[in-house]
Amino acid sequence: MYEAGVVKNWGFFRDNYESLTIDDLVWINTKWDSVLPYQKSHSLNAMVKMFSSITENNLKVVELGSYRSFLGSHLIEKVSSKVAEWHGYDINHAAIEDAIIHPQIFNHKLSKWFWEVDVSGYDIFVSSHTLEHFSFEQLKKIVETVSICKYLVLEIPLQNNWRGFRGSHVLLTTVEEVESLISATHIKLIDCSRERNWVVSLWRKN
Ligand SMILES: C[S@@+](CC[C@H](N)C(=O)[O-])C[C@H]1O[C@@H](n2cnc3c(N)ncnc32)[C@H](O)[C@@H]1O
């Protein structure tokens, strides 16, 4: 754990990922905050397109991997009628402490697995460049948890597995397998924007 947190030895991190507890991950991700450059991976235009095609307004959003709430603040600016409240959860506690302050944004330091969070009051689950930080087994639990939300808006980088990748991505499945997993819970794919490096998708509960 110490090596993974200090040295940024990504292979070591991946090899040992399954043995890490949530407390280890909180410690490592918070520690990385001082050595990793600002994270702002989301594709705003594609995200705006997905939010704009949702017909209801004043929705409650829960975001996994919200970092400094850049996505929440940018989306509220662009599609303000859609969002009543934006709740961001992240295990990087330094990022949460330094997150954007906004009356509609609520930042939560996550100290447990996301599937242990009660998401029953939320209409939209959002996650951008975060699902690939979980194993497929963990992803199944996340999908099961958020399948009670009316909508999912996801941005996932396109790469089939992350062996050798210089970053903390651990997912060893294709985006197609992730999409099949979501479809199996009777959540329907509504729209999708695909570029060379990422895919943004909008899903609605049947
Ligand atoms: C690549 S950053 C993406 C940040 C932002 N969503 C974006 O699109 O730029 C991945 C984020 O996921 C968070 N993360 C990784 N594992 C997590 C976990 N188990 N639970 C919650 N957040 C996690 C990291 O701390 C980090 O802020």
* Whether the Cβ atoms of residue 122 and residue 61 lie closer than 8 Å to each other: yes
Question: Could you tell me the pLDDT band of residue 7, with boundaries at 50, 70 and 90?
Answer: low
The verdict on the CB of residue 114 being under 6 Å from ligand 1 is yes
Pairwise pLDDT comparison (82 vs 186), residue with the higher score: 82
pTM comes to: 0.96
pLDDT mean over 145-156: 97
- The domain locations on the chain are 39-205
pLDDT of residue 36: 78
The verdict on the CB of residue 42 being under 6 Å from ligand 1 is yes
Instruction: Count other C-beta atoms under 10 Å from residue 25's C-beta.
Output: 22
The verdict on the CB of residue 17 being under 6 Å from ligand 1 is no
Which segments of 98-200 does DSSP mark as H helices, in order?
136-146, 175-183
pLDDT of residue 104: 98
Pairwise pLDDT comparison (14 vs 159), residue with the higher score: 14
- By C-alpha distance, which of 83, 46, 70 is closest to 192? 46
> In CATH, which superfamily holds the domain spanning 39-205?
Vaccinia Virus protein VP39 (3.40.50.150)
| Pairwise CA distance, residues 55 & 179, whole Å | 23
